[in-house]
Structure formats: C-alpha cells, structure tokens
C-alpha cells in the first residue's frame, strides 16, 4: 500500500472559531449523554409513595439498562434527552411519523421475582410504547407463574411467595384521644402522610365504627409496635374497594362484556396465570377480558375486535386460540393499598421494560428543614 506524504508547503487549516468549538463540544456532549442514557444507566426520582417503605418520595435512583439489555428506540424522531415534552416549553418532544420495531440487546440478567423494575406503563395508548409514563414497581411474578393474593399474602403456583423489600399495609389505628404523643410516635416510626403539610397523619373518624384515630400505612414491624402501645385500642386493615383488572371498564369494548365478573380485591386476587412467550392459550368468553389487550394492542395484531358474545374476533371471525409472542410480568407497589399497579391494568409486556433500579445516590426529605433535608442514611444505598 502506498502512503501519500503530507505536503509541507500546503497552508495550514484555519483554526475553528470559538463559537464553532462550543457547538462541536455541545453536540458531542449531547450525543454521548444520549448514548449513555440509552445503553447503560439513567437517573430517576421517586415522585409518589407507591413503593414505600422500600423507596421513599425524594429518593434519586440510578436505573441500569445493562441488566436486562438496552432496548432500541421505537420513536427515533425525538428531541434528545427528553421524554414526552420539552422542558420549560412544555411542547411535544417527538414525532410518531416513524415507528420502528424494537430489539433488546443482550443483558447479563433476566427479570427476576422481587426485582425493582422501571417500565413504560402499558395502558397509555395515546403515546408510542417507548414514550409512555415511566413507573417503578416490584416484579412479583414472572412469565409462567400463577399469581394469587390471599388476605394480603402473595402465592405463586399455590405456594407462599418470598417477597422482597418492606411492603406496607394501610390500617385504621383507633385511639382514645388523638394527641401530640401519638403524633410524635407516628413521626418516630417513619409513618408519613404526604397529603399533610408536616407529613404526619392527621386524626380522623372511621366512618364504619365512628371511632377516632389515624389512617396509617406502614410495614408489619411498625404495625406490631403500635399494637403494643397502651393508647392504641384497635389496628384494623383497610383496603379500598376498587375496580380491578380484568373487570375494569376499558375492557368492555363495543358493548361487549366479559362473561365472568371476578370482583377481585386488592388483598384477595386471582389465581391468574402470567402469559409466557410461546404459550398457546385457548380463548373463550370466560378469559377474553384477560387476554384482549395482549392480542389487540401489546402484540400489534390487526383487525381485532370483541363480539357481543364475549369472544375476541380477528377479521370478524372468533379467535379460539392464541400463541403468546413475548413474556409478561406482574408488577406491584410495596405500598400495597396505595399503588396503581398490575392489579388495576394487568400485565407488563417485556418490550415495555426499561431497566432495573440498582442504587439510591441521593435522598431528600420533602418535609425536612435545611439541616435535615438530606436523608444521609440512604445515600448510595443499594435497592433490594
């Protein structure tokens, strides 16, 4: 191979202007940050108490894309380092004119039970899948499991499941007289109500019994502490009555309704099988509500409708069986009675999974004063 020597008499290239150097540096920084954010780690903050007591409002997290493998973008026409809108301007940050198939690069771990997972919430059909709102929950069941909740206890395949973190339950704590002693005990035990100006639950009356007390959400160990206190007269589990998957109204398409109304509750739910890739399911009016969104939305099949008889239709013909194209997962918040999770909207598709939450790098108490704003004991705390 012949190499051409540089001409020593050729004039040197003119140096870049300062403005050009700034533009080039900024462009490089944006591209590098975008690649790092996509392929390795991304920072998030906890805005709501759905994962308490494991994750607290004000925790700042690093989420690993390396564990499960980064997912290629579905929506390439997007302002870099944004999600749904451009900050400050509050205008749409993307165009859905081009939608690409997604591919997940290999990771060094599969999604496991008890992983704390960030994912795109699947029911937001107004956005492309990769731009739906990010949720963080605990993976309770993986593809192939059968999930059941009995009196708040998780069962997988008929056996009690080992649950990680510090799950919370909501109670009504009846007391003779709400006073500063009780409020101080609530504060000392880490019981928080984010709807109160000082973060401490306010006294109220139980509408069923007429007793005075406090609605509190706390782990089992804190509940046991309060049961032993002389000022506590009763501690009763309170779970709101809400409409849950698969009986929620958005499954009643074109006037059709599931032939089975299960009326499951937050603490008594299932049994429900979690779909697995390659599994072939016999479809009937009895289970159509469970699988309708998988067939019609998550796996991109065309011409899917629902007949008045309760059968799923494809091209107007009853679909009697279906083979699942990807794995699905069941995600729940550790704050069991204060979490909008899979019990409300169903399965999380594998192609909606963003990554695994691994580290708290900063934690700020929204009710702390200047000297107590940082929760020092949570800094660089690994997430279990």
Q: What is the CATH number of the domain that holds 195?
A: 3.30.70
CA 328 – CA 273 distance, rounded (Å):
10
In angstroms, rounded to a whole number, what is the distance separating the alpha carbons of residues 63 and 356?
Answer: 5
Q: What is the pLDDT of residue 11?
A: 64
**Portion of the chain with pLDDT greater than 90, in percent:** 72
Q: Which of 150, 200, 196, 191 is nearest to 170 (CA)?
A: 191
The DSSP result for 183-248, as a single string, is HHHHHHTT---TTSTTSSPPPEE-TTT--EEEEEEE-HHHHHHHHTSTTEEEEEE-------TTSS
Q: Is residue 173 part of a domain?
A: yes
Whether residue 178 is contained in a domain is answered as: yes
Query: Is 200 domain-assigned?
Result: yes
Which of 320-324, 355-359, 367-371 bottoms out in mean pLDDT, i.e. has the lowest?
Answer: 367-371
Question: Using omega within 30 degrees of 0 as the cis cutoff, is the peptide bond preceding 246 cis?
Answer: yes
* Residue 170 CB contacts under 8 Å (≥ 6 apart), including other chains: 215, 216, 217, 237, 238, 239, 336, 337, 338
**What phi and psi values does residue 21 have, to the nearest 5 degrees?**
-60, -40
Instruction: Quickly state the pLDDT bin for 182 (edges 50, 70, 90).
Output: very high
- Please check whether residue 358 lies inside any domain of the structure: no
pLDDT digits (tens, 9 = 90+) for 281-328: 999 998 999 999 999 999 999 999 988 888 999 999 999 999 999 999
Tally of structural domains, the chain: 1
Per the listing, tokens 């550790």 go with: 334
CB 102 within 8 A of CB 353: no
Regarding pTM above 0.75, the answer is: yes
Tell me the per-residue pLDDT of 322-331, one tens digit each, with 9 for 90 and over: 999 999 999 9
Query: What does the pLDDT read at residue 70?
Result: 94
Range of the domain at 202: 169-237
> What distance in Å separates the CA atoms of residue 5 and residue 2, rounded to the nearest whole number?
9
Residue 150: inside a domain: no
Kindly indicate the confidence band of residue 254, based on its pLDDT and cuts at 50, 70 and 90.
very low
Would the pLDDT of 127 be above 50?
A: yes
What do you get for the CA distance between the two ends of the chain, in Å? 58
Say whether pLDDT at 55 is over 70. Answer: yes
Query: Rounded distance, CA 340 to CA 266, Å?
Result: 10
Residue 358 clears pLDDT 70, i.e. is over it: yes
For residue 168, list its beta bridge partners.
335
User: Cα–Cα distance between 140 and 128 in angstroms, integer?
Assistant: 26
pLDDT above 70 (res 343): yes
Supply 221's token pair.
């160990």
Kindly write down the DSSP assignment for every residue of 123-165, as one continuous string: T-TTS-GGGSPEEEEEEEE-TT-EEEEETTEEEETTEE----S
Is residue 147 scored above 50 in pLDDT? yes
What is the rounded average pLDDT for all residues in the chain?
90
**Confidence at residue 16, expressed as pLDDT on a 0 to 100 scale:** 66
Q: Which DSSP letter does residue 255 get?
A: G
What is the pLDDT at residue 12? 66
Residue 112 near residue 353 (C-beta atoms within 8 A): no
Residue 111 domain-assigned (yes or no):
no
Give the whole-angstrom CA distance, residue 1 versus residue 3: 7
Inside any domain, residue 177: yes
Q: Is residue 211 part of a domain?
A: yes
pLDDT value at residue 1? 44
Q: Give the mean pLDDT of 13-34.
A: 76
Residues found in the chain: 384
């Amino acid at each position: 191979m012949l190499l051409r020597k540089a001409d020593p008499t050729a004039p040197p290239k003119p140096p870049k202007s300062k403005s050009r150097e700034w533009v080039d540096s900024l462009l490089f920084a944006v591209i590098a940050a975008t690649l790092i954010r996509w392929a390795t780690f991304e920072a998030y903050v906890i805005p709501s108490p759905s994962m308490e007591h494991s994750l607290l409002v004000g925790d700042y997290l690093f989420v690993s894309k390396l564990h499960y493998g980064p997912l290629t973008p579905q929506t390439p026409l997007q302002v870099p380092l944004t999600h749904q809108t451009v900050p400050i301007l509050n205008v749409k940050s993307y165009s859905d004119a081009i939608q690409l198939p997604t591919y997940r690069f290999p990771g060094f771990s599969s999604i496991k039970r008890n992983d704390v997972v960030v994912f795109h919430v699947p029911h937001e059909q107004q956005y492309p899948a990769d731009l739906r709102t990010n949720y963080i929950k605990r993976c309770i069941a993986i593809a192939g499991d059968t999930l059941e909740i009995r009196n708040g206890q998780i069962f997988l395949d008929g056996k009690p499941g080992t649950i990680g973190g510090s799950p919370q339950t909501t109670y009504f704590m009846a007391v003779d007289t709400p006073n500063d002693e009780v409020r101080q005990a609530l504060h000392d035990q880490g019981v928080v109500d984010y709807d109160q100006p000082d973060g401490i639950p306010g006294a109220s009356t139980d509408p069923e019994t007429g007793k005075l007390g406090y609605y509190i959400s706390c782990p089992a160990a804190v509940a046991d502490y309060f049961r032993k206190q002389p000022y506590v007269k009763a501690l009763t589990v309170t779970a709101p009555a809400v409409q849950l998957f698969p009986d929620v109204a958005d499954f009643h398409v074109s006037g059709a309704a599931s032939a089975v109304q299960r009326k499951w509750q937050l603490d008594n739910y299932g049994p429900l099988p979690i779909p697995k890739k390659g599994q072939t399911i016999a479809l009937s009016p009895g289970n159509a509500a469970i699988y309708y969104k998988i067939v019609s939305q998550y796996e991109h099949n065309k011409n899917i409708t629902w007949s008045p008889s309760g059968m799923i239709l494809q091209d107007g013909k009853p679909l009697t069986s279906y083979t699942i194209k990807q794995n699905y997962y069941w995600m729940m918040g550790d704050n069991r009675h204060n979490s909008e999770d899979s019990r409300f909207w169903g399965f999380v598709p594998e192609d909606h999974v963003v990554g695994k939450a691994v580290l708290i790098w900063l934690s700020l108490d929204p009710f702390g004063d200047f000297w107590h704003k940082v929760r020092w004991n949570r800094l660089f705390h690994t997430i279990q």
